[in-house]
């Protein structure tokens, strides 16, 4: 069965810390995505990657960076966490052709104090 695993379900960090959110998929998908989900705003795309070491900015990349050193792993990095980055973060993956469905992880609820 399809599996997207996010490293933490809940995470609490302090303002100014560097935060790493990890995502691993076991489906050999080319594409991987990071979204944040906030009440009333839906899902907003932060970054996506269509191949190892490749990345593209989404709609709200400011304050974030990503890393994809291996095909199965996509990391989201908050360089200096701020309180407005408190949110639910969702990772997803898909095959690359014909707009295949995205498979989501369970999400990481991140609180920045």
Partner 1 sequence: GQQVMQIPQYQHVQEGEDFTTYCNSSTTLSNIQWYKQRPGGHPVFLIQLVKSGEVKKQKRLTFQFGEAKKNSSLHITATQTTDVGTYFCAGSSGGGADGLTFGKGTHLIIQP
Contacts of 84 (CB under 8 A, 6+ apart): none
Contact call for residue 42 and partner 1 (CB under 8 A): yes
Choose the stretch contacting partner 1; rule: CB under 8 A; options: 15-23, 48-56, 65-73, 78-86: 48-56
Which of 25, 31, 75, 85 contacts partner 1 by CB under 8 A?
A: 31
Contact call for residue 50 and partner 1 (CB under 8 A): yes
Contact call for residue 45 and partner 1 (CB under 8 A): yes
HSE-CB at 83 with a 13 A cutoff on CA atoms is: 1
Contact call for residue 98 and partner 1 (CB under 8 A): yes
Task: Say how many residues touch partner 1, by CB under 8 A.
Answer: 28
Q: What whole-number distance in Å separates Cα of residue 92 and Cα of residue 59?
A: 16
Which residues in the chain belong to E strands, given as ranges? 4-6, 10-13, 19-25, 31-38, 42-49, 56-57, 64-70, 73-78, 87-94, 103-104, 108-112
Task: Give the residues lining the site for partner 1 (CB under 8 A).
Answer: 30-31, 33, 35, 40-45, 48, 50, 56, 58-59, 90, 92, 96-99, 101-107
């Amino acid at each position: 069965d399809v599996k997207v695993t996010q490293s933490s379900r809940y995470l609490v960090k302090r303002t100014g810390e560097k935060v790493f959110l990890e995502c691993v998929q076991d489906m050999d998908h080319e594409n991987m995505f990071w979204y944040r989900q906030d009440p009333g705003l839906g899902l907003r795309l932060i970054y996506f990657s269509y191949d190892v070491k490749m990345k593209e900015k989404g709609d709200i990349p400011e304050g974030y960076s990503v890393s994809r050193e291996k095909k199965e792993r996509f990391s989201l990095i908050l360089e200096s966490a701020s309180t407005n980055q408190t949110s639910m973060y969702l990772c997803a993956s898909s095959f690359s052709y014909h707009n295949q469905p995205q498979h989501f992880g369970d999400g990481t609820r991140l609180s920045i104090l």
